[in-house]
Amino acid sequence: MTRLGVDPLSAEVQVEVVPDTCCDRSTKVQGYETGSVSFSCPYKSKYRNNMKYICRGNQPSTCLQQALITSDHKRSRQFTLTDDTASRKFTVTIKSLTQRDSGPYLCGVHRNTGLDVFSAVELEVKDLPKKTPLITAGPVSPTSQTTQISEKPTKVVALLLSLTFGLVMVYKYCKLQGVGVVMNRTTWKATEAEEMTAVVDIYGFEDDLYSHLDSYKQSTL
């Protein structure tokens, strides 16, 4: 008790309890798995020389202790911090994204007195978009190859047969002219026999030609 009758220990103390959360609004950011994402955190010009940092979660009281990266240590394995004092903002880049990187982050500016200044970011990491399969032409079937190979030899056979038949007709005409207008029955039969022999030779030639053609097809398969 004092001489005035006032107990100094009984002085009234007011304590203000502030929720350990931040902030009223947050910036939405999206990225894809295995990719990277960047977002900027603005600050006032009077904080240009102050330390900047970022942490996960939404608790300002422990953000600096749990900082993922700071302006004093600007690079880590996954995070990079770049401070642009001219535009009064620092940019954070997160690479090699996974689903576990989704969630709230706090951008912090450290003050020597009073509470640090924060802004909030909400990161959403999406699945990597599926690629559209490419449609490629398949190999040429053996049947089509055989058809392409056999078309030209068949035309050659037809041409040779036509030439051979024409030669036989020329031979027949020349033979008749040599014998004369008047031919006895024996000479006509002999000429007819020679023509039959020529026709037989034509078919024999055709058989040989087709035989060679089959051998050619087998060798090209």
Report the candidate in 146, 76, 67, 80 with the shortest Cα–Cα distance to residue 110. 67
Is pTM beyond 0.75? Reply is no
Residue 152: predicted pLDDT? 54
**Which of 142, 162, 39, 21 is closest to 95 using CA atoms?**
39
Using one digit for the tens of pLDDT, what is the confidence trace for 75-88?
A: 999 999 999 999 99
Cβ-contact 39, 92 below 8 angstroms: yes
Please compute the mean of the pLDDT values over residues 101-125 and round it to a whole number. Answer: 95
Higher-confidence position of 217 and 125? 125
Residue written as tokens 């049947």? 143
pLDDT at res. 181 = 42
For position 186, what pLDDT does the model report? 52
Residue 197 to residue 215: CA distance in whole angstroms: 27
Which token pair is 70?
């700071």
Reduced to 3 states (helix: H, G, I; strand: E, B; else coil), residue 174 is helix
